[in-house]
Structure 1
């Protein structure tokens, strides 16, 4: 086991969750996509939001795939502004 495996097992025990239901690679892939394609602080926030959605019944893999797709399509910031704001005059 790795330190991450140990940590996930301990957190699951603390929260009354089944570690077998946690797809660590899915969460890590999503966090990577958001951190690299959107903004780094968005990674943990997005992981939390994924957890909220899953807690409300969303399929974890499907929701993560949708969010990764959203991150892949997210516009690159130019000079601190989103491209669509630049074209519309900044508001």
Structure 2
């Protein structure tokens, strides 16, 4: 296993092709940053689950940029104590 960026790019390309998705349209850096923000701003397991939910929102027609912006706003609200269910 390697942490080299080219290995990550190769993995994303291989997985995208396996899932029948275009191989060159994935904002890897944006999603990794968002995953980190969720993991550190909420709890660690929130990272991958957040990215999954963003993917669902994008699949339903939201742009990835809008989904990420809304998610970051929700993380900020969560950290401030405002988005937690009662």
Q: Which portions of structure 1, spanning 4 or more consecutive aligned residues, are displaced by more than 3 angstroms?
A: none
Cα distance between partner residues in 2 of 1:19 and 1:27: 15
Greater Rg by CA: 1
Where does the alignment leave 5 or more consecutive residues of structure 2 unmatched? none
Task: Normalising by structure 2, report the TM-score.
Answer: 0.82
What value does the CA root-mean-square deviation take over the aligned residues?
2.1
Cα distance between partner residues in 1 of 2:22 and 2:79: 37
In the alignment of these two chains, the number of paired residues is: 80
Provide the secondary structure at the position in 1 that maps to 2:79.
coil
For residues 7-56 of structure 1, the C-alpha deviation after alignment (integer angstroms, 9 at most, x for no partner) is 00000110111122211111111101100111110111111111111111
**Paired residues for 1:5-84 under 5 Å:** 5-75=9-79
Where does the alignment leave 5 or more consecutive residues of structure 1 unmatched? 77-81, 86-90
Q: Is the 8 A contact 1:38 1:74 kept in 2?
A: yes
